[in-house]
Amino acid sequence: MYVLIGLGNPGAKYALNRHNIGFMAVDSIADAYRFPPFKLKFSAMISEGTIGEHRVILCKPMTYMNLSGQSVGELLRFHKIAPDHVYVIHDDLDLETGRIKLKIGGGNGGHNGLKSLDQHIGKEYWRVRLGIGHPGHSSRGEEIVANYVLSNFNRNDESWLKSILRAVCEEADSLFGSHPGEWLTRVSENLRR
């Protein structure tokens, strides 16, 4: 069994925020693969279903971004799932808009959701990094970044956002157990369609 986690913040206020691209991706996957309705368990919205030949738990932590690891830790302990069977979809400021990267382990890049996951489940989980771009640097760097990730996508983002969510969704069945380079090639080809 695999766990596919989308990071974001709960509630309508945050639904279209850049920080919620993980929730958006998981919702798209749930719709495309006809998962049952999400239910609240482990302080997260959970749905279990099948993607390709794989049994998958979709998870959207409801603890807010900074505490995401708490609910994910509970879920993994309950189902006895190893971190290398966990895939986390999240926003990434260090990638250009519309870019995708996949890796296992590594640093958190200052992402509070990843920091929380690292504390609760270790670092050896897969990260599906979706580029949202960076607002730039200034003397108020942290404030600028916080305002940027907690602001909504705008009209200029619609095209690439739709494309990246479609590609991740359509290639979800080849994600699990795949070599990162192979999966990224498939996603890149999908984005060019």
Model pLDDT for residues 78-113, shown as the tens digit of each residue: 999 999 999 999 999 999 999 999 999 999 988 999
pLDDT digits (tens, 9 = 90+) for 165-183: 999 999 999 999 778 889 9
Sheet of 54-61, strand order: 39-41, 44-51, 54-61, 2-6, 86-92, 126-131, 100-104
Catalytic residues: 19
Q: What is the mean pLDDT of the chain?
A: 93
Strand partners, 101: 129
pLDDT at 138 over 70: no
CATH code linked to domain 2-192: 3.40.50.1470
Strand partners, 129: 90, 101
Domain boundaries, the chain: 2-192
pTM of the model: 0.95
Query: At 73, is the secondary structure helix, strand, or coil?
Result: helix
How far are the Cα atoms of 22, 23, 30, 33, 69 from residue 94, in angstroms, in the given order?
Answer: 16, 19, 27, 30, 22
For residue 140, the model assigns a pLDDT of 58
Q: Which residue has the tokens 């945050």?
A: 14
* Tokens of residue 193, six digits: 């369609």
